Structure 1
Amino acid sequence: MTTKFYDRLSNDLTQLLENPIDYNVTIEVGEAPVSQIFEVHSYILQSRSPYFKKKFNESPFNENHVKELKIPNISVKVFNFIIKYIYGGTITLEKLENSIIFDLLMASHELDLDELVEHLQTHFVTNNASWLRLNFSHIYQTSYQVKNFKIIQNFCDNIIAKHPNTIFESGDFNSLPEYILISIIRLDDLQLEEYKIWDYVIQWGKAKNSNLPANLNEWTSDNFLTLKTTLKNCLPHIRYFNFSGEQVVNKLYPYQQLFEPKLLLDINTKFLAPNNPISATILPPRNILNVTLPTRTNPIPSNIITDEHALEVSSWIDRKETPYTENNPYEFKLLVRGSKDGFDVKTIFEICDKVSKTVIVIKVEGTGEIIGGYNPLEIYNNISGNWYRSQDSFAFSLKTENLKNSIVSRVKYFANAIYYDSGRSYLQFGNTLNLRGNLKTGKNSLCRDYFKYEKQICSNEGEFSVEEFEVFKVSPHHIIHF
């Protein structure tokens, strides 16, 4: 039987890092003036990391018989965790912000610390899946750029397969690299009808060629050739033989100039003479599930908040002390999105006229804060400035990578709960959340606490503009929670 004294070994090597006697390498980490020099031992580092083994072989000793390295693209804070892991084999993540943990993951990949890369991916998927969803587009693209991020990549693929709108309806969809779009449309279990996949691929291709006419009837042969060239690597992954006859006519025929003549003939043959042989490769149909998914059955259609955020807002609506964790009792139906409908507050009045029980969510430009409010009252268009009474309205700030805990601020002065002025484009939750004019181009909105609501929800009282905003109608699902 072999006895292993790993704790003592880890402690002794960590002490050697803190008191680096006989060091023979210095590593300058970060950019001046916040860089820091670490004194370390080449044998330890190169035995733990192929990256350092290669670097040390390439670096000569100076006159003091010390090798000097520089790693400017890794922060001092991140490297402190890495070097302690290399020496002591331990790492503590509990008090770290998720953005720092992700930087740690990227740095671990760069330094060829495969064990740590696997551990950090597992940590995210197991303990911080909501953060991955909140930053989904960036995380997903990164997982495909970095070859050994397989755990996160599989996590993202599973989300996209089960909930394709996560990526197809995101604001970043049209900017996806081609190789990522192909990886998505190749998924056998992508839960989306084939003609809708076709529509998204066409949308992506058109976005890459902004000079194409908006009206398809105005397209020339050169326009179709441009789109065909853009989509040449995507088109082979569409499962054309799973279209219905009606879908072929309505979806494929308008773009028949994108097809090679033989493929178009085979598609026609499939529907006009299905017993005749065809030469094209017939891809299998998608594995569309016929059962209700156990989780995320109604993912919120938002580019700003996650399902976990929506559960928290729902618990505030119901005045629950403990947030819901699954089976949201409310449906969040998207009514307005700034990037789609326009950023002026008057758009809210026009689209949401006579609609009650709405939630507005806002991503603040520059800070990344997610703020908003719940309004149980009907919204009135074409009305001059008036305060309206409510006992149930509240404003909030949702947990992000920079905010440890969400904030809810309930109305205290019921008579001054909600303020409407469609003429001046004002919509206010007391003065805790004051939305004015064009939320994106005009820096006129602000968050202040003048005692009408319980507390301030923003990091400061200054005026701000928004990166995106959305308004949802909240309706009961009639799900019972115990």
Structure 2
Amino acid sequence: MTTKFFDRLSNDLTQLLKDTTDYNVTIEIGEAPNNQIFKVHSYILQSRKKLENSTIFDLVIASNELELDELVKHLQTYLVNNRASWLRLKFAQIHRTSYQVKNFETLQEFCNDIIAKHPSTIFESENFCSLSEDALMSIIKRDDLQLVEGQIWEYMIQWGKAKNPFLPTNIEKWTIENFSTLKTTLKGCLPHIRYFSFSHEDVLEKLFPYQQILEPKLWLDINTKIMAPNKPISSRVLPTRTIFNSNILTIEHFLEILSWIDRQEPYYTGNIQCKFELLVRGSRDGFDVKKIYNICDKVSNMIIVLKVKGTGEILGGYNPLPWNKEKNEKMHTKDSFAFSLKTSNLKNSILSRVKNYDYGIASHTLVLRDNLRTSKLSYCRINGDCFDKPIRSAEFLGLVHCPPSSDKCTFNVEEYETANNIQNSVLSRIKNEKFAFKYPLPIEQFGPWFGNCEFPT
């Protein structure tokens, strides 16, 4: 992509070529009396060299001090588009500087995108309580901040107390003046909290102790919504944050799976153009495989994750194709994959992509059978050339189809979730893919994922 040449800045620099008095370098070519002398500027010569990332960042700061607004904007965009890995490496410094210096909106947005997806990078950092009010507000006002509202409230209260270290440690000893002080400190942040997204437990345990920093009408409306949900209220209701609420996955897990779906870099920091809709959850909907089979019928872009009882493994996979319980057929796809996610017992996640596209769905890579919680019949089988690699260690891989519950490879599931991923780039890729439906299979040989689900008749 050709860099835009900014008119105002280029005109200023062009004037330097005509200036024969204010120069600091001379270049002499040839010998007298036929020699030629060129009068130049050292900083223009230096700019022709490839600059280090830190030098470019320093140049942003210097350009801002000199009020070279076009250059400030251009260099920020250049760093975000071309040196993003370095910005992430220096995240704390970049984030702090972006709010200390005026006109660094592009870098602020870059940092806030990362914080929204990885909240611990700032909320659990030693520098959290030193954030400026503007920096904190810019984070908590985001719809995509991946924290439940009760957690955001607790962090905000922590920040407010840190700004007023004289406040009593025991809230039961607080005076009206103490609450008034905290309310004044948090006046810019309080309007951005999604009060009507709190769980009932968090209203009682987290909001109630600090009700004095809320407007009386707001506190009444919060309680009204709990006791009479359909009764109208006058307080402003902000939209619920778009978070992926999982009993199994962390936000880091979620982003890793998303990067595999979209074939992006492992550390996904771009705008997330998708929505994950939870369809089935074991603890909510039951653990019979028939539940998955019925609810997920004719749904495409499906993710399943499950936590293995006893080992803590998180297994699962992704199937881009819509599947039909009335058609027991293998399906051709190049985008399905299975995985085992990073846990305390697994240093790095395992991604296993389909190799034989004709076996993208029915390959026995992950086999779900009967009642996932009690039957101990689910397993992963050695699948030959169908997928890149196994998602469990060799000792836990099945050697035969449908091993008995006494086999070491079979397992029960502590929790499972299935979700539907709506993502434009994946949908467009699927749209253009040729579906090859062939090889009729009996129902116990076909399932919605990369292995099969066995459904008793």
Give me the TM-score of the superposition, normalised by structure 2: 0.47
Instruction: Indicate the structure whose relative CO is greater, using CA pairs within 8 Å and at least 6 residues apart.
Output: 2
Give 1 or 2 for the bigger CA radius of gyration: 2
